[in-house]
């Protein structure tokens, strides 16, 4: 690999430390997947995570309001919706936990492919 290729590799390579920091801090938003180049599944984690949180908060607020107003049917419906949102969050949480064991491999494969790309001879233009 030439020195310019090595410099380009160092500038573009991914860090497992950054990926794990994103997993720990923003994993429920799928940011570690975006960083790792897994955009579609990162988008799915983002939508599911935020969507479930919004539904959970709205059903909780609606359920509290219905309980305070004495509307038992609305309160029960809000509790059911909150339960579904919590279940979605549990599935996303399990998915994110599994990612803990996959992140290092994603980064390693990305960096290996990048190094192979930069070690290929380039045509002079």
Residue 125 included in any domain: no
Domain, as residue range, for 28: 3-119
Q: When comparing pLDDT for 89 and 109, which is higher?
A: 109
What was the pLDDT predicted at 82?
72
Q: What is the mean pLDDT of residues 36-58?
A: 88
Q: What DSSP line would sit under 43-104, residue for residue?
A: HHHHHHHHHHHHHHHHHHHHHHHHHHHT-HHHHHHHHHHHHHHHHHHHHHHHHHHHHTTTHH
Residue 54 included in any domain: yes
Asked whether the whole model's pTM tops 0.95, one would answer: no
> Biggest alpha carbon distance in the chain?
78
Q: Please, which pLDDT band fits residue 110 given cuts at 50, 70 and 90? A: very high
Number of folded domains that form the chain = 1
Three-point CA angle 9, 45, 103, nearest 5°: 40
Residue 74 included in any domain: yes
Residue 23 included in any domain: yes
pLDDT, tens only, 8-32: 888 889 999 999 999 999 998 999 9
């Amino acid at each position: 690999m030439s020195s310019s290729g090595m410099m380009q590799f160092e500038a573009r390579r991914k860090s497992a430390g950054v990926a794990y920091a994103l997993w720990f801090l923003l994993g429920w938003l799928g940011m570690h997947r975006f960083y790792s180049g897994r955009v579609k599944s990162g988008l799915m984690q983002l939508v599911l995570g935020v969507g479930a949180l919004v539904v959970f908060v709205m059903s909780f607020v609606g359920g509290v309001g219905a309980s305070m107003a004495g509307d038992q049917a609305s309160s029960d419906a809000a509790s059911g919706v909150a339960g579904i949102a919590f279940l979605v969050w549990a599935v996303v949480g399990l998915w994110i936990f599994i990612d803990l064991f996959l992140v290092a491999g994603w980064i390693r494969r990305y960096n290996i492919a990048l190094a192979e790309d930069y070690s290929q001879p380039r045509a002079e233009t």
